[in-house]
């Protein structure tokens, strides 16, 4: 769940644009190649950025949350999206494949441990990665927390958020016959994986528009028209992960296993009016994770580019740079 939007509103808080000093395609097996880039200082403080979605891909703006004179900034497109190949593929594409890919990147770049920075689905993946490899994350910086519970999916795809945006929810529902609307994730799954490409793109655009429409606190409810290839990868991958419960062993696993990372410090930045990932999950996480601090941003929604969220994230990364 994520898309970088309204970029101009946040740009005043960000570091200047930079270009990577290293770009590569990494063969991770299973027929997948993932795009990996590095920018900033080759011998700097390493930070890996986990984008949202699943399927959102990384963007140049994501480099700009970190002082390039201090940080070694690692971005990558997760399996099936962005510049990674094969595009929009869900074969051999699970949470555990992504966790293994993160470790492959760390090993290939010869990094002992790093700061893990993730928002939305990226926050989910950061938590699971740290719980799986608790000696590799030196700090977690999370934004717009999503803990992959059925309750969170029900909120967004079961009509909860639709009570605030009834006209936008109606547009999302109208493509699906009434007798299938009790499970919108399953209904969309049948169309997103139908093998009929025009139909897949039509439903992918509708899926993406529903999420994009609710991303910012200033939204007017219009989700825009995403490019076909982007929408198809984004929607198929998100739907694939959500219909499979994030490939976790049981509902509530992330919070239940928070003790595995109790020694890792964490900073959580959460929009008070996040309609996609409501603050309850961030609050619960902060309560259970004794080494984490929660920064609730008063007038902000979900997007990385919300001005208050961008300002706070840059401030957090500046503080961590000082601490080393």
Catalytic residue (one of 2, 77, 101, 274):
274
* 127 cis-preceded (ω within 30 degrees of 0): no
Euclidean distance between CA atoms 175 and 159, whole angstroms: 15
DSSP-assigned beta bridge partners for residue 118: 50, 142
Q: Answer yes or no: are the C-beta atoms of 137 and 114 closer than 8 Å.
A: yes
Q: Answer yes or no: are the C-beta atoms of 211 and 203 closer than 8 Å.
A: no
What letter would DSSP give residue 246?
A: G
In the structure encoding, which two tokens stand for residue 119, read together?
């928002």
Catalytic residue (one of 89, 226, 302, 305):
302
The reply to whether 97 belongs to the active site is no
**14-20: long-range contacts at Cβ-Cβ below 8 A with a sequence spacing of 24 or more?**
14/61, 14/64, 14/65, 14/310, 14/314, 15/63, 15/64, 15/65, 15/66, 15/67, 15/68, 15/314, 16/64, 16/68, 17/60, 17/63, 17/64, 18/63, 18/64, 18/68, 20/63, 20/75
Euclidean distance between CA atoms 292 and 97, whole angstroms: 27
Which of 101, 105, 107, 127 lies closest to 116 in space, CA to CA? Answer: 127
Q: Answer yes or no: are the C-beta atoms of 168 and 196 closer than 8 Å.
A: no
Catalytic residue (one of 120, 208, 226, 305):
120
Q: Answer yes or no: are the C-beta atoms of 4 and 32 closer than 8 Å.
A: no
Q: What count of Cα atoms within 13 Å lies in the side-chain half-sphere of residue 30?
A: 19
The reply to whether 120 belongs to the active site is yes
The reply to whether 302 belongs to the active site is yes
Active-site positions read 120, 274, 302
């Amino acid at each position: 769940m994520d898309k970088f939007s309204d970029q101009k509103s946040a740009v005043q808080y960000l570091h200047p644009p930079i270009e990577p000093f290293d770009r590569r395609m990494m063969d991770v097996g299973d027929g997948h190649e993932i795009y990996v880039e590095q920018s900033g200082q080759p011998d700097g403080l390493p930070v890996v950025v986990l984008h949202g979605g699943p399927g959102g891909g990384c963007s140049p703006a994501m480099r700009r949350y970190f002082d390039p004179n201090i940080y070694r900034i690692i971005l990558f497109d997760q399996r099936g999206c962005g510049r990674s190949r094969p595009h929009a593929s869900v074969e051999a594409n699970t949470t555990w494949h992504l966790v293994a890919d993160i470790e492959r990147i760390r090993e290939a770049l010869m990094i002992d441990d790093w700061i893990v920075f993730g928002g939305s689905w990226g926050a989910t993946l950061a938590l699971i990665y740290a719980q799986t490899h608790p000696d590799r994350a030196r700090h977690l910086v999370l934004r717009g927390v999503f803990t992959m519970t059925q309750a969170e999916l029900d909120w967004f795809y079961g009509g909860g958020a639709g009570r605030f945006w009834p006209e936008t929810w109606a547009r999302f529902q109208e493509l699906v016959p009434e007798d299938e609307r009790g499970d919108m994730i399953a209904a969309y799954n049948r169309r997103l994986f139908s093998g009929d490409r025009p139909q897949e793109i039509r439903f992918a655009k509708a899926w993406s528009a529903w999420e994009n429409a609710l991303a910012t606190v200033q939204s007017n409810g219009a989700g825009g028209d995403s490019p076909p290839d982007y929408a198809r990868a984004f929607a198929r991958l998100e739907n694939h992960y959500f219909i499979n419960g994030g490939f976790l062993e049981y509902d509530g696993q992330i919070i239940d296993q928070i003790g595995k990372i109790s020694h890792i410090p964490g900073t959580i930045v959460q929009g008070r009016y996040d309609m996609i990932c409501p603050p309850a999950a961030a609050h619960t996480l902060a309560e259970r994770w004794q080494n984490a601090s929660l920064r609730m941003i008063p007038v902000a929604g979900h997007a990385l580019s919300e001005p208050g969220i961008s300002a706070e994230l840059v401030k957090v990364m500046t503080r961590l740079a000082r601490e080393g």
